[in-house]
Amino acid sequence: LLSYTNSKTQYYCNTIWYSCVLLKAVWLLKRNRVKGLPYPSNSLPFFGHALLFTKETPWNLMSHWHTLHGPTYSFTLLSRPCISTSSPPLLHQILHKSHSKFDKDIHFTYFPFLTILGSGIVTSSSTRWRKKRLTYSKIMRITILPTIPSTTLSSYSHFTRFETDTIDFNVIYRNMTLSIISSILLSLEPIECIDNFGRLYLPVMEECNRRVWDPTRRFIVNGSWWKFYREGKELNRYVTDLVKRRVEEREKGGYVDADILDYMLTGGGVEVGVQDVVDEVKTFVLAGHETTASMLAWCTAEVGRDERVREKLREEAEKVWNQEEKDFTKLNYAEMCLRETLRLHSVVPTVTRSVEEDFEFEGIMYERGTTVMVGIQAAHMDERNWKDPKTFKPERFSNFDDVKPYTFLPFIDGPRNCLGQYIAMLEAKIIISKIFWEYDLEVVEGGKEKDGFMVPVVPKDGVKCKWKRRN
């Protein structure tokens, strides 16, 4: 150090500078764990446990730590104190009772997705979020539901018309659910939705997912960076045009309360700008499409491999689909299969929150700035909550009211739970029941291993099936 300093002043400046860096490092190392909680080994200075997450699927590593350290433990990501919890009493506090002290973790885990989410409901908080939630709650839980069966059936017919021997259901469901959400949100036809949304949206999402685990991709300006920039811009332009066109149509008196976009534009009586609505449209497509597709893909793989479950599902389908007036509330077993799929495969394995105000619970202090990971997958695989958790058993859900609170959290719980869960379950039970009623499926490849880094968690090699129409 001295050899580079040619004046006394510079020597003193350097000494002060390096002392500050050292003090800051010591301070970070001291506060990077939550006192009183178990702390997994192999943490490195500054990096904490971050490097371990690059080697293994993060949710599996976190679930493994839960088996070693119990329902709540602390760990460190690049000097950031984090906890993961699957403890029902603590989850009740985080997601429900004290939820205002735990905000969305927008500057860390959600950050790479902001190109799509922008100022939409998933990434908004406090008054802004409350207003949005009030506007959409009734639409998503009640108003739109009667339109779901016909939209689902029309999308189903469109995407099952192919005459190939083998088909990847992961791809089929991605297209089906994209077309359903585009139809209820924007009244788009399947062709238009796949040509535009499918082409632009899917690559943007893939790059966002990559950036979660490799943040350097954000800064290295190469071919992928430009591709992402171009496609993101084009997607934005496409959605902006759709929204602007709708505003004009509304001004001429057309389209009143026809789809979710129309409700968005009313803004619950509050003035909303075009960019606000554009962000909301992209948010709803992200939230509502691949999650449902992934649940369907895993469910097809599980049911396709289990003859007993398949026969029970068909027995129920026979009764519903042979009726003139189809009563979809009778698809109980299909719903049980989907719930068990969400438990076993946790398509959203964790959601994160950031502690906004110091919070004490059961003698442990969670300081402001701590990242909280809700261990959804850990809760679903915990032997204290579920007997024989690695086995697919839809009968666990034969009486849903018996499921203990905060042990089954695919849509999380509390005021920020999933707004689209009723839509997702309704469209998925119609699809899964009809597909197994109409077709003999044989899973020939995929449907076992998980893609390590994509959220929602999808089958790594898809779910390729031979399919043949049944008599």
Contact between 351 and ligand HEM (CB under 6 A)? yes
Contact between 131 and ligand HEM (CB under 6 A)? no
Minimum CB distance to ligand HEM smaller for 43 or for 371:
371
Q: Which of 58, 81, 420, 459 binds ligand HEM (CB under 6 A)?
A: 420
Minimum CB distance to ligand HEM smaller for 375 or for 410:
410
Can you tell me the distance from the alpha carbon of 228 to that of 211, in angstroms, rounded to the nearest whole number?
11
- Closest CB to ligand HEM belongs to which residue? 420
Among the candidate windows 47-55, 228-236, 283-291, 391-399, which touches ligand HEM by CB under 6 A? 283-291
Contact between 419 and ligand HEM (CB under 6 A)? yes
Question: How does strand 350-355 pair with strand 371-375?
Answer: antiparallel
Count CB-CB contacts under 10 A for residue 221: 9
Least CB distance to ligand HEM at residue 324 (A) = 29
Contact between 410 and ligand HEM (CB under 6 A)? yes
Site mask, ligand HEM, residues 235-264, x = CB under 6 A? ------------------------------
Coil vs helix vs strand at 464: strand
Among the candidate windows 36-44, 53-61, 315-323, 417-425, which touches ligand HEM by CB under 6 A? 417-425
Least CB distance to ligand HEM at residue 118 (A) = 13
Q: Binding to ligand HEM (CB under 6 A): which residues in 85-104?
A: 104
Contact between 304 and ligand HEM (CB under 6 A)? no
Of residues 100, 64, 79, 94, the one with CA closest to residue 31: 79
Compute how many residues bind ligand HEM; rule: CB under 6 A. 23
Contact between 375 and ligand HEM (CB under 6 A)? no
Contact between 284 and ligand HEM (CB under 6 A)? yes
Burial of 287 (0-12, 13-18, 19+ CB in 10 A): buried
Least CB distance to ligand HEM at residue 165 (A) = 29
Least CB distance to ligand HEM at residue 14 (A) = 45
Q: 């609170």: which residue's tokens?
A: 405
Minimum CB distance to ligand HEM smaller for 235 or for 412:
412
CB 152 within 8 A of CB 288: no
Contact between 292 and ligand HEM (CB under 6 A)? yes
Minimum CB distance to ligand HEM smaller for 39 or for 328:
328
Largest CA distance in the chain: 93
Q: Which of 188, 309, 412, 463 binds ligand HEM (CB under 6 A)?
A: 412
Which residues, 6+ apart, have CB-to-CB distance to 427 below 8 Å?
148, 151, 152, 177, 180, 292
Strand runs (DSSP E) across 40-85, as ranges?
72-77, 80-85
Contact between 287 and ligand HEM (CB under 6 A)? yes
CB 374 within 8 A of CB 91: yes
Per-position DSSP letters for 342-390, written without gaps between them = HHHH-SS-EEEEEE-S-EEETTEEE-TT-EEEEEHHHHHT-TTTSSSTT
Contact between 295 and ligand HEM (CB under 6 A)? yes
Minimum CB distance to ligand HEM smaller for 72 or for 124:
124
Cα angle 53, 56, 61 (rounded to 5 degrees) comes to 75
Among the candidate windows 23-31, 249-257, 409-417, 429-437, which touches ligand HEM by CB under 6 A? 409-417
Least CB distance to ligand HEM at residue 150 (A) = 16
Per-position DSSP letters for 97-163, written without gaps between them = ITGGGEEE-TTTTSGGGHHHHTTSGGG--HHHHHHHHHHHHHIIIIITGGGHHHHHHHHHHHHT---
Least CB distance to ligand HEM at residue 181 (A) = 6
Q: Which two tokens stand for residue 10?
A: 């510079």
Contact between 347 and ligand HEM (CB under 6 A)? yes
Site mask, ligand HEM, residues 175-214, x = CB under 6 A? ------x---------------------------------
Which residues, 6+ apart, have CB-to-CB distance to 462 below 8 Å?
168, 169, 170, 171, 297, 445, 446, 447
Per-position DSSP letters for 258-306, written without gaps between them = -SHHHHHHHGGGS---HHHHHHHHHHHHHHHHHHHHHHHHHHHHHHHT-
- Provide the binding-site residues for ligand HEM, judged by CB under 6 A: 104, 121-122, 133, 181, 284, 287-288, 291-292, 295, 347-348, 351, 410-412, 416, 418-420, 423-424
